Amino acid sequence: MHEMALAQSMLEIVEAAAREAGATHVTNVRLEIGALSHVATDALRFCFDAVTRGSLAEGATLDIDDVPGEAWCMPCGGNVPLAQVGDPCPRCGSFQLAVVRGDDMRVKDIAVA
């Protein structure tokens, strides 16, 4: 379950930002997770609750913004929506696609007290 490793890395980022801001408690964490990132959001929520116990983020809420997948199609010469890696271009059926959005996860912002 790579979501546990993701949650631990996310906690390190959140705690570092909170300490830098002089905060004593994190109340909310907002993430952006791409549709093509292969992250199971339910598992990530579970892991977030587990890794934040005893940390500055214990009890913090976790909000997740979904980012749709998008790719650049070489034959069409433009960006197209992409539901999953390996799908063909919805316009022309080509597989000559380069992912341009939706394959990552990032901490968008945190709220601290």
Residues 26 and 11 sit within 8 Å (Cβ to Cβ):
no
Q: In the chain, what percentage of residues exceed pLDDT 90?
A: 97
Q: Side chain identity at 71, as an amino acid letter?
A: A
Half-sphere exposure of 91 (CA within 13 A, CB side): 14
| Mean predicted lDDT score pLDDT of the chain | 96
Span 14-34, average pLDDT: 96
Q: H or E stretch including 96?
A: none
Instruction: Report whether 36 contacts 85 (CB < 8 A).
Output: yes
* Element spanning 10, H or E: helix 2-20
| 92: pLDDT strictly greater than 60 | yes
| pLDDT band, very low/low/confident/very high, at 84 (cuts 50, 70, 90) | very high
For the chain, domains (ranges, CATH) are 2-112 (3.30.2320.80)
DSSP state of 89: P
Q: What is the mean pLDDT of residues 38-59?
A: 96
pLDDT band, residue 1 (cuts 50/70/90): low
54-72 pLDDT, tens digit each: 999 999 999 999 999 999 9
Asked whether the predicted pLDDT for residue 43 surpasses 80, the reply is yes
User: What pLDDT was estimated at residue 66?
Assistant: 96
Quick one: angle between helices 2-20 and 41-51, nearest 10?
50
- pLDDT 10s digits, 96-113: 999 999 999 999 999 998
Per the CB < 8 A criterion, the answer to whether 105 and 66 are in contact is no
